Amino acid sequence: DTEVTQTPKHLVMGMTNKKSLKCEQHMGHRAMYWYKQKAKKPPELMFVYSYEKLSINESVPSRFSPECPNSSLLNLHLHALQPEDSALYLCASSRDRGPKSPDTQYFGPGTRLTVL
């Protein structure tokens, strides 16, 4: 089973709202990722969690706040977003063998976010 699930599939929010995106995997992976993908562009890495600890933050604005409550779950809390934050948000996971031993990242279906 190589499934990563994400909820919700679609989300529309105003600039003053607070919302959360959720990601779950049951493959025993210990590395989890958030990516942002704009239309007709490749995904851009936002955050990496390794063994539930934040290991990479790609200078993402503080209005995006990641959380990894356990090894299977990854959340992305959203607050005071801007219309330019509208995008497809992808979650991925992989086995964690350290930064010098990469492994395959498996992606979820994504959450389509629209900020009004």
Cβ closest to another protein, residue 18 vs residue 104 = 104
The alpha carbon of residue 107 and the mean position of all alpha carbons in its chain are separated, in whole angstroms, by 10
Q: Which two tokens stand for residue 38?
A: 């704009």
Cβ closest to another protein, residue 18 vs residue 41 = 41
Cβ closest to another protein, residue 79 vs residue 112 = 112
Q: Are the CB atoms for 76 and 68 separated by under 8 Å? A: no
In the complex, the residues that contact another protein under the rule CB under 8 A are: 2, 4, 6, 31, 33, 40-43, 45, 48, 50, 55-56, 90, 92, 99-100, 102, 104-110, 112
